[in-house]
Each structure stands twice: as structure tokens, then as C-alpha cells.
């Protein structure tokens, strides 16, 4: 299968609490960031939001348990892993590839635009990216900023771990 995968919020996690404490002197846990849009979640400007993400993508990443190992097994089993990330707003594609290699994230290709070809599975924590995707299996990685979604079309499958993602891709779990 062709698997399109986001980075932040799926493979690794921003430490917003630390960044916001440093920048604004406030104590806001990740759990209280209720939307993916920091302008809305925090009442800050677009340029402040950009600057936070710019800083966040260059900080030491916190990997989500099982991400690298699962991607490695999927790749080994013959699946093709395509990386599509908003990090490209803050780093070049070569910079992203170097970053993925440095942190031993298994993948096949990094793409500038995940809408340019067809994928079988799309893993992301951003609802707009998933809903714009043609992938029939849309796995929404559970994060505080996507929990408000009512999923009225039933298009999204919420996943909480890489173990679940692996089960779904391996067909060990049938989707509704
Ligand atoms: Mg993300």
C-alpha cells in the first residue's frame, strides 16, 4: 500500500507547554490547545503563530511511541511510506530528508504536495488535510486539537497509537 504520513502530531510531538511558557509566561498544557490553529487557540497573531512553529520544528523532537519501529516494519513488508508535512514551510525538502535520516524515521519519499497522487492510507492529525485527501483510509491521529470534530461523514478513523495503525494497515482490524 501507499501510505501518506504527516510528521508533527503523528510521528513526533511538539512541546507547546514549554514553548508557550518561555514565550508568553503562561502555563498551558497541550491538552488545552483545542484547535490546530494556534491563532484561534491562543489569541495570537499569524506571525506569532508562524514563529512558534518555526521554533518548534527546530527543537529536539519528542517521538511518539512506536512510530519509527512501526514505519520500519511497514516499509520492510513492502509498503511505501510517503512523508507530507507542514515542516516544509520552515525547512527545505533536503533539510527535511536530513532530519528524517538523523532521527532514523523510516520512509521512502518526502513530498511537497500530498494531493498530487493517490494513496491508500493517509495518517494525519490535521482534519483539513485528511478531508482534502483522496485516500480511502483516513487515520486521524488523536490529539487534543482534533477532539472537537464530530466526524459527521464518518470519513475519519480516530487512532490512538501506532499499534492500532499497524493493525489497520495489516487488515487485522476492519474499519466500520
Ligand atoms: Mg501534524
pLDDT per residue as tens, the chain (176 positions): 999 999 999 999 988 899 999 999 999 998 999 888 999 999 999 999 999 999 999 999 999 999 999 999 999 999 999 999 999 999 999 999 999 999 999 999 999 999 999 999 999 999 999 999 999 999 999 999 999 999 999 999 999 999 999 999 999 988 87
How much distance in Å is there from the Cα of 78 to the middle of ligand 1?
25
Domains of the chain with CATH codes: 2-13+64-169 (3.40.50.1000), 16-58 (no CATH)
Phi, psi of 123 (to 5 degrees): -110, 125
| Å from CA of 25 to ligand 1 middle | 25
In angstroms, what is the span from residue 37 Cα to ligand 1's centroid?
11
Q: How far is the CA of 86 from the centre of ligand 1 (A)?
A: 7
CA 33 to CA 18: how far, in whole Å? 13
128: part of which helix (H) or strand (E)?
helix 127-131
Instruction: Tell me whether strands 109-110 and 121-124 are parallel, antiparallel or unpaired.
Output: unpaired
**What's the 7 CA to ligand 1 centre distance in angstroms?**
6
Q: How far is the CA of 124 from the centre of ligand 1 (A)?
A: 6
What is the per-residue pLDDT for 173? 87
* Residue 176 pLDDT: 75
CA–centroid distance, 10 to ligand 1, in Å, is: 6
Instruction: Write down the pTM of the prediction.
Output: 0.95
66 vs 34, 71, 99, 148, CA distance in Å? 25, 8, 18, 25
SS3 content of the chain, % helix, strand, coil (to 5): 40, 15, 45
Q: Which residues contact 83 (CB under 8 A, 6 or more apart)?
A: 5, 6, 7, 96, 100, 105, 107, 109, 110, 111
Identify the pLDDT of residue 175.
Answer: 83
pLDDT at 95: 96
Ligand 1 centre to CA of 140 (Å) is 10
Ligand 1 geometric centre to CA of 69 (Å): 19
* 141 alpha carbon – ligand 1 mean position (Å): 9
If you measure from the C-alpha of residue 173 to the centroid of ligand 1, how many angstroms do you get, rounded to a whole number? 24
How far is it, in rounded angstroms, from Cα 50 to Cα 56? 10
How far, in Å, is the centroid of ligand 1 from the Cα of 171? 24
Amino acid at each position: 500500500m501507499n501510505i501518506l504520513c504527516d510528521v508533527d502530531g503523528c510521528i513526533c510531538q511538539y512541546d507547546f507547554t514549554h514553548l508557550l511558557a518561555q514565550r508568553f509566561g503562561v502555563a498551558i498544557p497541550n491538552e488545552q490547545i483545542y484547535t490546530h490553529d494556534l491563532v484561534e487557540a491562543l489569541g495570537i497573531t499569524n506571525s506569532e503563530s508562524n514563529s512558534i512553529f518555526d521554533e518548534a520544528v527546530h527543537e529536539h523532537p519528542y517521538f511518539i511511541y512506536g512510530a519509527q519501529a512501526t514505519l520500519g516494519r511497514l516499509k520492510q513488508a513492502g509498503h511505501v511510506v510517503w512523508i507530507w508535512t507542514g515542516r516544509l514551510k520552515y525547512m527545505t525538502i533536503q533539510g527535511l530528508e536530513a532530519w528524517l535520516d538523523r532521527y532514523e524515521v523510516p520512509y521512502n519519499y518526502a513530498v511537497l504536495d500530498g494531493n498530487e497522487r493517490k494513496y491508500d492510507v493517509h495518517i494525519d492529525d490535521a482534519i483539513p488535510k485528511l478531508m482534502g485527501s483522496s485516500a480511502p483510509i483516513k487515520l486521524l491521529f488523536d490529539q487534543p486539537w482534533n477532539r472537537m470534530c464530530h466526524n459527521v461523514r464518518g470519513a475519519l478513523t480516530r487512532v490512538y497509537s501506532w499499534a492500532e495503525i499497524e493493525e489497520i494497515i495489516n487488515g487485522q482490524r476492519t474499519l466500520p
